[in-house]
């Protein structure tokens, strides 16, 4: 009999705020976290807006731990804030845990890459006239500077390093960077780590911050970003016939996963928020940026998640869609859901919160899974905002514009990333 895996803590830092209940209220109210970009001067870019995290005082949030994290890059800072909230919510105490049975698994992307700064830093470490590395002098200086730059410029592994230090997590420690599917994949794989007995607790989720000239330039060149500069709050319109691209956001979402046995043994039944019952993963093997037009990889991921959960499409009460607001993604996701769900596809509500907080890239899936947990808790589905013009190719129930009361016992979260990565996680209401 395989181990049951439960979620006992959740935390997020998003463009709609940092507290669980405050952000949740804003999602249900269809509020927007999208506005003019302030992190750099974007006035000459095709897209001048984004979904930034606002009023996040990292030093205050992290408290006494600040000195050991002071060099952390932006996405790691966001992850630490989300993780602290999740850890507190789960009621965990590192002093009473076996540190080698506590692990980390994130989907965390790089922060603002500043190659000019990196080059300048490296050159400063080189003494005048030097042609080789002097391991005793220049080598030590260069190593110190490089270590600091790895954190500031965000070597992807830095996020799990900081999380491990903060929570004394000495068990399995991994990071995946599978683009927009990363944190869903991380949570799915962290679930498998606990199932096979390599950890009792996993700190999992994702973080990303790409709101910088390099990131925006890349997505603009791909024509993936919305350019509705005159009305940023309505720029992200998933499944709408007039949709014109996604809105770049930043943030973090972290969940605490435990085996049910471990949670019950520490007296944490009242902390259990939901149970993870299904996980499916696939790759399109089709193109570097585009999904297969028939959604073949997405179909496999959804089917595998249902198979893993021992469920049928009729068991799913709500789908939190990947729903980016690009022409290709939304029509392909709709095709995939219809291919798997058949006639039930038109009966199951599906919504995209990216319409309100933008696309958090590697962090998106974790934030959306947390949304599923809250939707089950409160029997409320957050809407797809800005939906005004039905698209014949997107003909499902996208919960337009207004939150909807709905009893939810089982919810599905989809994430599809560049490179054709597809991941689906299914959660259900916990029943002891």
The residue from 236, 262, 359, 394 that is catalytic is 359
Give the containing element (helix H, strand E) for 373: helix 364-378
CA 202 to centroid of chain Cα atoms: 16
Quick check: 19 and 61 in contact, CB under 8 A? Answer: no
DSSP H helices, 47-137, are 58-62, 66-69, 74-90, 115-124
The residue from 18, 69, 162, 180 that is catalytic is 180
C-alpha–C-alpha distance, residues 252 and 234, integer Å: 23
Say which of 69, 322, 372, 394 is annotated catalytic. Answer: 322
Give dist(CA 2, CA 196) in Å, integer.
8
CA dist., res. 135 & res. 407, Å (int): 65
Q: Which helix (H) or strand (E) holds 151?
A: helix 138-152
Per-residue b/e over 76-109, b at no fewer than 16 CB within 10 Å? bbbbbbbbbbbbebbebeeeebeeebbbbbbbbb
359 is a catalytic site residue: yes
Active site amino acids? 180, 322, 359
């Amino acid at each position: 009999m395989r181990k049951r895996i439960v979620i006992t803590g959740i935390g997020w830092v998003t463009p709609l705020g940092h507290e669980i209940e405050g952000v949740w209220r804003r999602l249900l109210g269809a509020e927007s976290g999208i506005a003019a970009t302030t992190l750099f001067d974007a006035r000459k870019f095709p897209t001048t807006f984004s979904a930034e995290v606002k009023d996040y005082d990292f030093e205050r949030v992290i408290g006494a731990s600040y000195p050991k994290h002071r060099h952390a890059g932006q996405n790691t800072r966001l992850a630490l804030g989300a993780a602290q909230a999740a850890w507190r919510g789960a009621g965990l105490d590192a002093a009473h845990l076996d540190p080698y049975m506590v692990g980390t698994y994130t989907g965390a992307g790089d922060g603002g890459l500043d190659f000019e700064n990196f080059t300048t830093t490296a050159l400063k470490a080189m003494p005048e006239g030097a042609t080789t590395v002097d391991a005793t002098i220049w080598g030590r200086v260069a190593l110190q500077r490089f270590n600091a730059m790895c954190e500031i410029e965000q070597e992807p592994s830095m996020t799990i390093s900081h999380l491990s230090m903060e929570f004394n997590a000495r068990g399995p420690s991994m990071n995946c960077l599978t683009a927009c599917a990363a944190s869903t994949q991380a949570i799915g794989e962290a679930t498998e780590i606990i199932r096979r007995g390599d950890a009792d607790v996993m700190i999992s989720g994702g973080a990303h911050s790409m709101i910088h000239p390099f990131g925006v330039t890349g997505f603009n060149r791909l024509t993936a970003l919305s350019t509705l500069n005159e009305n940023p709050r309505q720029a992200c319109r998933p499944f709408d016939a007039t949709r014109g691209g996604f809105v770049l956001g930043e943030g973090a979402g972290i969940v605490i996963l435990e085996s049910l046995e471990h949670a019950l043994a520490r007296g944490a039944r009242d902390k259990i928020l939901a149970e993870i019952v299904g996980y499916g993963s696939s790759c399109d093997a089709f193109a570097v940026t585009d999904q297969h037009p028939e959604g073949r990889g997405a179909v496999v991921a959804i089917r595998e998640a249902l198979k893993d959960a021992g469920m049928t499409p009729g068991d799913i009460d709500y789908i939190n869609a990947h729903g980016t607001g690009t022409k290709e993604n939304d029509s392909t996701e709709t095709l995939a859901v219809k291919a798997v769900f058949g006639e039930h596809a038109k009966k199951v509500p599906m919504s995209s919160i990216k319409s309100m907080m933008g696309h958090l890239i590697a962090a998106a899936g974790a934030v959306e899974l947390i949304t599923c947990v809250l939707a089950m808790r409160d029997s409320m589905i957050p809407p797809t905002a800005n939906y005004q013009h039905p698209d014949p190719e997107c003909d499902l129930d996208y919960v337009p514009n207004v939150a909807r009361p709905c009893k939810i016992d089982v919810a599905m979260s989809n994430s599809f990333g560049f490179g054709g990565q597809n991941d689906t996680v299914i959660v259900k209401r916990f029943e002891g």
